[in-house]
Structure 1
């Protein structure tokens, strides 16, 4: 039986060791390459790798989301089975990761799910991990709503979703409260 060849890209030596040892116990997965920097990850011959487990932050600066850039470059080179690994669970970051080529996204607290996620990626199955499924679903719903709403209604809807009341929305958009009420009534009719 051929083993799934996995590259781990992780700049934290403790996490790298934990992941390598944990995944190393799997009979059908082998860690063939460990990269501690984005540069090393991009040097690897992609024909030797089946799946990439890629940390989102690859520098001491925790605001540097360079893993997304690496995912994009690997994806562009034909390596399309990328799983993002991180402690971030913010909607924008999750969605950008998928936009740039990630096939799945797992938080470090769910590291025990990684072998299953690697197998699914290897088989070409897109099965969103529970860490991100609600975020992706909510985004799909928002996109659907965006398609049925006019730009003015979308603006009102977004502000309402942020928790603003009718008066606050009216002030922010320089419109009357009556106009905002009409927009909200139209939005409710379209969405429901």
Structure 2
């Protein structure tokens, strides 16, 4: 067991837990040494015998606060620096928040086949960007680079539009006419393409 990567899985879905556990242990170099089914159990685990953590972001169906982030932050402070977030979410803000808490990789559950390699990379101390994350972040980087070509006023309009405001709301907020906002949005669209 000393030559195997010792894995802890934190997952609230028992079927997923068992499936992942069975899948990663097919490889001779990984062994599951701890399992936790919720935040409370995860916070009670003795971290001294764990190399890598595979952590579900949402530890209950109605988890609007993403309690996996709390667990990641706690484990990171306890010395576990090799945490992989496992989730169904692929939104930029959530991904960035996970990396801010110290996770080294982020994989969606649809990419479960990539989990063993992610575990190995984390064990070797590599911070990796799985394709699930890369696609989202590269798209965001491209968008940010395009935003730089906008004037300050256009950026302001663009930001409000990205926040979900409609043309009338943007016009009210910026003390402009709806026609002016429509024109600016056409210019922004043209520049962003």
TM-score bracket for the superposition, by shorter chain length: 0.7 to 0.9
Segments of 5+ residues of structure 2 without an aligned counterpart are: none
Please tell me the root mean square deviation across aligned C-alpha atoms, in Å: 3.3
Aligned partner of 2:119 in structure 1 is 118
Evaluate the alpha carbon distance shift between residue 29 and residue 158 of structure 1 in structure 2; reply closer, same or farther with a 3 A threshold.
same
5+ residue gaps, structure 1, are: none
Equivalent positions of 1:51-62 (< 5 A) are: 51-62=52-63
CA distance in structure 1 between the partners assigned to 2:78 and 2:147 by the alignment: 33
Q: Which residue of 2 aligns with 1:32?
A: 33
Deviation at 1:175, TM superposition (A): 2.6
1:57 and 1:126 map into 2 onto residues whose CA distance is 22
Equivalent pairs, count: 191
Assess if the C-alpha contact under 8 Å between 1:58 and 1:67 holds in 2: yes
Superposed, which structure 2 residues align to 1:12-51 within 5 Å?
12-51=13-52
Q: Compared with structure 1, are the counterparts of its residues 43 and 27 closer, same or farther at alpha carbon in structure 2 (3 Å cutoff)?
A: same
1:101, 1:127 → 2: CA distance? 12
**Alpha carbons of 1:167 and 1:16: their partners in 2 closer, same or farther (altered >3 Å)?**
closer
Shift of 1:42: 1.8
Aligned to 1:79: 80
Instruction: Please report the TM-score for the alignment, with normalisation by the length of structure 2.
Output: 0.79
Q: Give the secondary structure class of the aligned counterpart of 1:110.
A: helix
For 1:1-192, list aligned pairs within 5 A: 2-141=3-142, 152-159=153-160, 161=162, 169-175=170-176
Most deviating of 49-58 and 172-181: 172-181
Following the alignment from structure 2 to structure 1, what is the Cα–Cα distance between the partners of residues 180 and 64? Answer: 43
Please tell me whether the aligned partners of residues 58 and 64 of structure 1 are also in contact (alpha carbons under 8 angstroms): no
Displacement of 1:183: 10
Superposed CA deviations along residues 92-129 of structure 1, whole A, max 9, x for unmatched, are: 22221112221111111111110011111111222211
Return closer, same or farther for 1:139/1:30 CA change in 2, 3 Å cut-off: same
- 1:165–1:9 Cα change, 3 Å: closer
Measured at CA, do residues 77 and 152 of structure 1 come closer, stay the same or move farther in structure 2, by a change above 3 Å?
Answer: farther
Maintained 8 Å contact 2:167/2:181: no
Partner SS for 1:102: coil
User: Measured at CA, do residues 151 and 60 of structure 1 come closer, stay the same or move farther in structure 2, by a change above 3 Å?
Assistant: same
